[in-house]
Structure 1
Amino acid sequence: MGRLIINAVLLLIVQEIYFVATATDQETCESDRLMEEQCRIHNYKTVKPLLDYFRQVRNELEDKEIKENKLNELNSDLLEKYQEIVRIHEKFVKEAALLDEYKNKVIKGENDLQLCKNRVDKFESETNSQQNVIVKLKGDLAEKSTNLENCEIQYKTLNSSLFEKDENIKRFSENIQNITEHQKTIELQLEQSKTKLIKKDKDNQLCRAEIDTLNKTLLNTLIPSSCSPFGDSDVHPLNVSGIGFFDVLCDSQLAGPGWIVIQQRVGGNESFNRDWATYRKGFGSYRSDFFIGLEKIHRITSLQRFELYIHLVAVNGSIYNARYDDFKISDEDSGYKLSLGKFDETIVGDAMRIGENLKFTTFDRDNDIGGGNCAVQYKSGWWH
């Protein structure tokens, strides 16, 4: 800073000297023109060194001023450059920020572009799928168009057929009308025939009723209620009051003609361990083992007096017989109670007497007088 002030003072002094020298130089030049020789002789030696010094100083000052001006210009340029650098830096910062923003935008754009690309790929895939669907639909459309053409042909054919059918319907309608009138006539005749048929049916019913009555009377007359009319040993029908017609096995060999076989055990193939309902109805075969049935025995013995004849053949061949003069059993409500009458004393062994006045017993209906069930013990129903 001090150097700059000294330079400034020195510059002022030099300028004053320069002005004086300039003025003196002008005057000297004028004097030189007038009296060059005199000045050169008297003053040159004294003034010239000083003038040379001033010229040198002036030149140095001019050089210095030029340098100062250049320095100022350089400083000014430097300041401008600095300011330019600051502006450039600020611009660079802004542009860097913009660049970052642009980079972000570019990244976002790349992401958006990738999304767009993915969407485009998806769209292309969907487009391809839709294109395939379109191709298929085109094929279906072509097929349906062909079908439609065929349908149109069929429609025309059907229309033609329909027209023919309409004509036929008209003819048929006329025929139907004629047939309807004829049908009414036939229905009238049919109604009259129905009336006659109903009358005849009633007459036939009366005739059938009379025939049934006659048949029953004839059957009652022809079919007996016992085996007395039959002279052989075979199966014959009986007509018993309260139970109707049923077959029985008649025997005319063991004790004379006219016997009804109520039980037979000859084959050993039939189980007699049966329940109450089966004994009531009867079971077995007349050609082998059987029991005629409690209800049939009750109905038969209720009509008239019957004898009971028992014929037993032992395993060793021994034969045992028993005979009672008034055999019968009561109804089901009384348990089919047994009644025998008198025993034929000419035959040894009144073994059946122990069951008289006893009810019939089966494994499912215990009517015996013992503590247990004799039907279960002996595996057979009886008057235990």
Structure 2
Amino acid sequence: MNPQSVVSFWVLCLLFVSQQVTSSSPLLINDLGNCGLQLTHHMTRIDDLITYIMTKQRDEIDEVKFIALNNENDLKNQIEELQKIVINYVDPTGQKTRIQSKIEENLERQIENLKETYSREIKELNSEFSSIKKQLKEFQAQLSDQNHLLERYSLQLNQTEKRLPKGCNGLSSRIHTIKLDGIDPFPALCNRDIEGGDWIVIHKRFDGSENFKRTWTEYRNGFGNQTGEFFIGLEKLHRITNSETHELYVQMEYFNGSFKFANYDYFKIGNESTKYVLESVGKFIGTANNRMNYNLNQKYSTFDQNNDEDAIYNCAEDNGAWWHRHCSYVQLNGIYSKEDTDDWSSMSWEQGAITLKSAQMLIRPISNV
């Protein structure tokens, strides 16, 4: 793709997204950000191409000039040698012989031909170089225009971000693009149907459509689809719970149709250097047993990164990823079963106890309560 095509493509991209930039759709916000990043990347590549072409053309012209100079010097040396040779053909009166005159005429004709050839080649190169310089100036002008366009839409994006809701406060139960302090805007599944609403759903399982036996990297970054089963990701969870005080609500559904919950009023985890340690859960209330106190101050474990305290087993291998101590009670990332089972590896709130039909984890700022 040539530079002009790159510029034209990204102008269309920015214009398309900017027409809808006031929408709170997470896809449109992300599209505008991606357009800006990719346009900046291609602008840098075009600048590099400009520098490369100009340098190459200068090198080619210098090489032709060098060859011409060497050839001219060679011709001069040949003339001098020939002049030494033909001096023997000068008659005693000092008049040029016919042979000497002919040789000199031939030499002069060859010199003129060479001069004309090199002059023509240098003119052609200079003309080509001038044409390229003109094109590059046009591209630079276009890039400058796109810089202004990018700045304008970046400003528009910033203004749009300022209008984004801070968290799920007052939002309906669907996916919204939200903005929290210190965190870039991101799509979040909000829930207003449980205990007053304003919840951000961070973990959801209900049909076994998503594989929760994932690597450390996948649990760090998050996986799944917020329209179905998913986990928001440890890194984002760390940033959210460190932006302000959040409570945690865990809702559990059983195959007999009953529900239980566990609520903790101060949920917070560390960063990746601490292995996303469970720093706090706070006070507990709920109809389920208080099982997360057992996980307090424990590092997160996955099947490919064992951070638990068990000297023999990697608890995440059979019980699913979690803040395990010695293979925890809680197994919300265990194997999903479509019926009640006595499998100790199944999704449950208490290891080896009743299998869960569905489970979701939600958080919200204490200030919203």
- The alignment's TM-score, normalised by the length of structure 1, stands at 0.46
Tell me: higher relative CO, structure 1 or 2? Use CA pairs within 8 A at least 6 residues apart.
2
More helix by percentage: 1
> Would you tell me which structure has more strand in proportion to its own residues?
2
Question: Which protein shows a greater Rg?
Answer: 1
Query: Normalising by the residue count of structure 2, what TM-score does the alignment of the two structures yield?
Result: 0.48
